[in-house]
Chains A and B, each alone.
Chain A
Amino acid sequence: MTLKTLSVTRDLLATNKQAAGAIRQELRARGILGINLLSSPGSGKTTLLEALADRFRGRFRMAVIEGDIETERDAERIRAKGVPAWQITTGGACHLEARMIGRVLGDVPAAIDFLFIENVGNLVCPASFDLGEDLRFVLLSSPEGDDKPAKYPQAFLSADGLILTKADLVPYLPFDPARAAAEALSIKPGLRVFTVSAIRGDGLDALDAYLVETLERLRSGRA
């Protein structure tokens, strides 16, 4: 009986990274900007997507992949806006993985501009899983408090942009958007920060312009 030590150095997220890489390649080849939305439950991801659906109608085509533990509710809300949507119910899993997106990708119409992926509401686990997106946003709503970036640094570190949502509630809450932004920026400098109220429309012009500009950049880099 002999004992030997094998040096393995196997990345446990390698399978996900590979699947994500393939998705990124496919989306870029199709000229689609993939956008992954991360946040805790109830921060307004779906409401923001409804607002963007209204704004993009007639200008850009979007599609949405919804991740939730249970129910089709979010996908139904998006479809009600005339936007194609697929619901992934994880049945308990706390995050979406690239493979789950890969399975849906074949059904996504070729001629779209933006593919939004609304992750499972959770500010922790989704941060570790690349879904093949080119843009990752963290949403933080005013009722959650402006002290969250330092408490959940992984999510903010992994993001390209921060969307402070429910700006319409700020007058009633001890939430300081500037403090939330400063804390997030101390973790991830260069984070693009947007302050929006999806139901009132504040701040959506800037977000809309940034999405369009990023899409154009992606497509010009494709040539």
Chain B
Amino acid sequence: MHELSLIASVFDVLEEKAREHGAIRVAGVVLKVGVLSGVVPDLLTSAFDIYKKGTLAETARLAIVAVPVKLRCPDCGGEAVREDMEFSCAACGSRRVEIVEGRDLFVETIDLET
């Protein structure tokens, strides 16, 4: 439930990039949200809508791309996406897997109007 503070960090990035590129408007933002990040996309969207008022991103389109869990297996060397919250290697069944994707939150791209 800390989506609003994460959106504040998104706006830090937006402002920095808009300034750097002399943009007059932010037209769009793509966020990548790991399914294990603990963040709820709907709440992120609501927080964005609250935060954008009166900013360069007031009319920006927000897209949230969910990043599934990707596991790497040190036993068989396999790397695969796992959609079922089962933390084992799909190929060999090993439970020693490490999570390589699906935990993080990224601002992926920003559309700027200059």
Give A contacts to B, CB under 8 Å: 1-13, 15, 93-95, 124-125, 127-128, 150, 153-154, 157, 186-190
Contacts and interface: CB of A to CB of B under 8 A. Distances in A.
A188 to B, nearest CB: 7
B110 A2 contact: no
Contact of A11 (B17, B39, B85, B105): B105
Contacts of A95: 2
A125 B110 CA distance: 26
Interface in B7-30: 9-10, 13, 17, 21, 24, 27-28
A157 B102 CA distance: 12
9 contacts: A6-B109, A8-B109, A9-B107, A12-B13, A12-B105, A12-B106, A150-B85, A186-B95, A189-B87
Given A10-B13, A12-B10, A5 B87 contact: no
Contacts of A10: 13, 106-107
Given A13-B104, A154-B36, A189-B96, A125 B109 contact: no
Contact of A1 (B13, B21, B96, B113): B113
A3 B112 contact: yes
B27 to A, nearest CB: 6
Contact of A93 (B5, B10, B17): B5
Contacts of B107: 8-10, 12
Contacts of B109: 5-8
Contact of B87 (A12, A15, A125, A187): A187
A153 B36 contact: yes
A54 B99 CA distance: 38
B72 to A, nearest CB: 14
A189 B103 CA distance: 18
Given A3-B111, A4-B112, A153 B105 contact: no
Contacts of A187: 87
Nearest to B17: A6
Given A12-B10, A157-B99, A186-B87, A4 B111 contact: yes
B106 A154 contact: no
Nearest to A8: B107
The 5 closest A-B pairs by CB, nearest first: A189-B95, A12-B105, A10-B107, A128-B38, A6-B110
Nearest to B29: A8
A189 B98 CA distance: 10
B56 interface: no
A9 B106 contact: yes
B37 interface: yes
Given A12-B105, A154-B36, A186-B87, A4 B1 contact: no
B87 A9 contact: no
